[in-house]
C-alpha cells in the first residue's frame, strides 16, 4: 500500500489545530510557569551559588527548565491526542481507515513533537531575556531537542493507549517523570552530590538526557555526551518497539 500522506497530514493538522484552540494552556501557561521557576530559583539560589561548573547559575538553569517543560508537554500532548479518540469511541473509525500504524504514529507523534519543539524554542527565547546565553553547539542542541521531543512524544503515545481513565493519563507524568526530572540534575549538577548519591543518580535515565542537552550549551555535562546520545537513542528505539508491539497485538486499541 502506498504511503498515505493525506491521512498523516489530516491527523497532524487536526492535532495542531487543537493546540491553537487551547493556546493559553498549550503555550502561555508553560511559559509563565517556567519563568516563575527561573525567577524563584535564580533569585533564591543564584544569590548564594553564583556558578556551577564555571557556568553562571542563571544560565545553568536554562537547559534543565527547557527539558522539564519538554518532557511533560511532549507526554501530555501525545497521550491526550490518542486517548481522546479512545474515550469518545472514534478510535474505531481511525483503525478502519486506510491508514497504516506507521502513518497514524507519524501524525500524532509528529504533531506532539512539533508543539513541544515550538514550546522549547519559546522558553529558550524567554530565558534569553533573563540571562545572556551562549550555545556552543547549536546543531547538537537542535538535534537533542528534536530527538528528545520525538522520544517523549512516543512515550506519551504509549501512555495514552495504556490509560483507561484521565487519572491514569496523568499518573506517570506527574508521579514518575516530574520527580525523576527534579532528581536528574535539572537544577544542579550531580557532581555536587556525595559519591554514593551520585552513583544512585546515574541509574536515573533522565540524567543522561539533561546532561547531553546541557553539553550542547556549555560543552560540559554530568556524563559524556556520547553516553547521553546512546541513552537517548536507546529510549527512542525502546518506545518505537513498544508502539510496534501495541499495533501488532491491538493492545487496548480494539477493546
pLDDT per position as a tens digit, 174-183: 888 989 998 8
Q: Which of 13-22, 65-74, 188-197 has the lowest mean pLDDT?
A: 13-22
Identify the pLDDT of residue 40.
Answer: 77
Separation between Cα atoms, residue 169 and residue 156, nearest integer Å: 9
Identify the pLDDT of residue 222.
Answer: 92
For the chain, percent of residues with pLDDT exceeding 90: 51
Q: Over the stretch 51-68, which tens digit does the pLDDT of each residue have?
A: 787 888 888 889 998 998
Output the CA torsion sign for 222, 224, 227, 228.
Answer: positive
Q: Would you say the pTM of this structure is higher than 0.75?
A: yes
Indicate the pLDDT class of residue 92, thresholds 50, 70 and 90: confident
Amino acid at each position: 500500500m502506498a504511503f498515505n500522506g493525506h491521512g498523516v497530514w489530516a491527523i497532524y493538522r487536526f492535532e495542531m489545530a487543537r493546540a491553537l484552540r487551547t493556546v493559553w494552556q498549550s503555550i502561555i501557561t508553560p511559559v509563565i510557569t517556567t519563568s516563575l521557576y527561573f525567577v524563584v530559583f535564580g533569585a533564591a539560589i543564584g544569590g548564594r551559588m553564583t556558578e556551577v561548573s564555571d557556568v553562571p547559575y542563571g544560565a545553568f538553569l536554562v537547559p534543565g527548565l527547557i527539558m522539564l517543560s519538554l518532557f511533560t508537554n511532549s507526554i501530555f500532548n501525545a497521550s491526550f491526542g490518542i486517548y481522546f479518540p479512545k474515550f469518545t469511541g472514534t478510535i474505531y473509525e481511525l483503525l478502519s481507515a486506510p491508514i497504516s500504524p506507521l502513518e497514524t504514529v507519524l501524525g500524532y507523534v509528529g504533531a506532539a513533537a512539533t508543539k513541544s519543539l515550538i514550546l522549547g524554542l519559546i522558553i529558550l527565547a524567554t530565558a534569553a531575556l533573563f540571562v545572556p546565553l551562549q550555545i556552543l553547539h547549536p546543531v547538537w542542541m537542535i538535534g537533542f531537542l528534536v530527538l528528545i521531543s520525538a522520544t517523549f512524544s512516543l512515550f506519551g503515545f504509549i501512555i495514552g493507549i495504556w490509560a483507561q481513565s484521565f487519572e491514569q493519563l496523568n499518573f506517570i507524568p506527574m508521579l514518575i517523570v516530574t520527580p525523576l526530572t527534579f532528581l536528574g540534575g535539572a537544577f544542579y549538577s550531580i557532581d555536587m552530590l556525595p559519591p554514593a548519591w551520585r552513583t544512585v543518580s546515574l541509574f536515573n535515565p533522565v540524567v543522561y538526557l539533561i546532561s547531553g542537552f546541557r553539553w550542547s550549551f556549555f560543552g560540559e555535562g554530568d556524563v559524556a555526551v556520547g553516553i547521553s546520545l546512546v541513552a537517548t537513542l536507546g529510549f527512542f528505539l525502546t518506545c518505537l518497539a513498544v508502539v510496534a508491539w501495541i499495533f501488532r497485538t491491538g493492545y487496548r486499541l480494539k477493546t
